[in-house]
Amino acid sequence: MTVVQMAEEHIAYFHGLVRSGDRRATTVNGYQSILDTHVKPHPIARKRLSELRAPMIQGLLDDIVKLTGSTSTARRVRRSFVQWCRFAVRRGWLLANPAQACAVDGAASTPEEEPFELPPKQHLSAIVAAAAQGDHPERDTAVVRILMFGGLRSSELLGLADEAAVLKPIGGRLKVRERLEYQHKTLDPPKTGKGRRDVPIGKETSLAIRAWRLKRGGVRPFGHINGKREKVVATGRLFPNPATGSDVWGYHDFIRDCWMPLMRRAGLVVMVPDSKGKNRPQAAFKPHMLRHVAVSLWLAQRPQPTPKKVQELVGHATLKMTMDTYGHLWRDEDEDDAIAQASERIISQVNV
C-alpha cells in the first residue's frame, strides 16, 4: 500500500461517517484537497508504507513551507498525515505513527495575500442584462440579484427555503438559516452562529423574486435526509431542482444549467486548454465573486457601513475574517489625504 492509497482509504472511511451524520462534510473535503494539492504531486505519494519514515514526512512539510511560505498550510498537512497514519495503525498497515514526530516551526501565519480583483462594472452590467435574455429570465434575474446585491454564498442561495424570502413593497429580507452541502446534497445549518442572519434586499431584488415565484408557481415539501442522516420533511426551496420541481438543486447542475449559460450570454466565457490540450469552456469568475461585489457596493455608499455591520451581513465568524477579506475596500483616498494634511498642520501650528 502506498501513501496515497492509505489517505484514500481513510477518506473513504470518513465519507461513511459523513453519511451516518457523525462527521461534517467540510472536514473530508479538506482531507481530499490536501491529498490532491500537496501530497499527490510530491515524491512521498508513491512511497510504500513499509518505507514510510518521519524524515520523509518532515521533508514534505519543509518543501511546502519553502514553496508556499505558509507554515499554517504545512501544519494542516501534518494534521492530515497524523490522522491518516493513525488510521493505518488501527488497520495494522503501520506499526507506529511516523507523523507524530514531525513538526512545523515558525510563526503560525501566512504571508499577506494580494487583494482579489473585482470584475469591471461593464462585466457586471452585462451579467444583469444577460440574466433577462435566456430561456429562464425570471429565475436567472432573481439568482443574479440575490448574489450581487445580497452577498449570499452559492450554498446559501441553493439552500434557501421559499419561506425564507420575506418580501415587502419596498424590499424585504432573506433569512439565511440553511445551506446546501454540495457533495452529499444535504441541507445543513450554517457553519457558525454568525452565518445565521437576515440579509436586507432592495426593491428591484424583491420584484425579481416576486416575478420568479409567479413564473415558478408554488413549491411543495419533500422528503429529505439531512446532514445528520435524519429523515425529515423539508419545506420547498426558493430555487428547487428544475428536474423534479421540489428537492434541492445541486451545485454542479446549477453551474451547468444556469451559471455557464448566463456567463456565455454575457460574453464572459473563454476556451482554456486542459491537461490533455483539449479546449474547455471556463467562466471569467465563479458565482462567489458576486459576494465580493455585493460588499464593494455596500462600501461604495456614503456613509459606509462599519466593518462590524459588514461582518453581520456576510455572516463571517469573526471580524478578523471580514477585515482580512475586505479590509482593502475600506480605502478612502480623500480621507487619507485629510489625515495627512491634518497631521502636518498640527506641527506647523506649534510656536518655536
Q: Which of 125, 141, 149, 145 is nearest to 295 (CA)?
A: 149
Query: pTM of the predicted model, to two decimals?
Result: 0.70
pLDDT tens profile 84-121? 999 999 999 999 999 999 999 864 444 344 457 889 99
Which stretch of 40-49, 147-156, 326-335 has the lowest confidence by average pLDDT? 326-335
Backbone angles phi, psi at 293, to 5 degrees: -60, -40
Per-residue confidence (pLDDT) for residue 22, from 0 to 100: 67
Which stretch of 88-97, 133-142, 169-178, 185-194 has the lowest confidence by average pLDDT? 185-194
Neighbouring-strand partners of residue 200: 173
**Gap between the Cα atoms of 36 and 281, Å rounded:** 23
* Of residues 340 and 269, more confidently modeled: 269
Cell of 57: 514526512
Mean pLDDT of 122-135: 95
Q: Is the pLDDT of residue 151 over 60?
A: yes
pLDDT tens profile 19-57? 776 677 777 788 998 999 999 999 999 999 999 999 999
Q: Which of 140, 122, 121 is nearest to 131 (CA)?
A: 140
Contacts with 180 (C-beta within 8 Å, 6 or more apart), sequence order: 155, 156, 158, 159, 186, 187, 188, 248, 249, 250, 251
Strands 171-176 and 197-201: antiparallel
Q: Which of 37, 32, 94, 83 is nearest to 60 (CA)?
A: 37
Task: Give percent of the chain with pLDDT exceeding 70.
Answer: 88
Mean pLDDT of 154-181: 94
**Gap between the Cα atoms of 138 and 217, Å rounded:** 12
How many other CB atoms are found less than 10 A from the CB of residue 193? 10
pLDDT tens profile 224-267? 988 777 889 999 999 999 999 889 999 999 999 999 999 999 99
pLDDT tens profile 314-324? 999 888 888 87
**Looking up cell 455591520, which residue turns up?**
309
Task: Give percent of the chain with pLDDT exceeding 90.
Answer: 64
Judge whether 215 and 138 are in contact, CB under 8 Å: yes
In a 3-state reduction of DSSP, which class is residue 7?
A: helix
Neighbouring-strand partners of residue 282: 270
Backbone angles phi, psi at 272, to 5 degrees: -125, 130
Cell of 302: 456614503
**Gap between the Cα atoms of 204 and 206, Å rounded:** 5
110-149: string of b/e by CB count within 10 Å (b at 16+)?
eeeeeeeebbeeebbebbeebbeeeebbbbbbbbbbbbbb
Element (H, E) at 166: strand 165-168
Q: Which of 50, 91, 56, 46 is nearest to 77 (CA)?
A: 56
Side chain identity at 326, as an amino acid letter?
Y
Count of residues making up the chain = 352
Judge whether 215 and 242 are in contact, CB under 8 Å: no
pLDDT tens profile 216-236? 999 999 999 887 778 899 999
Contacts with 251 (C-beta within 8 Å, 6 or more apart), sequence order: 154, 155, 158, 180, 182
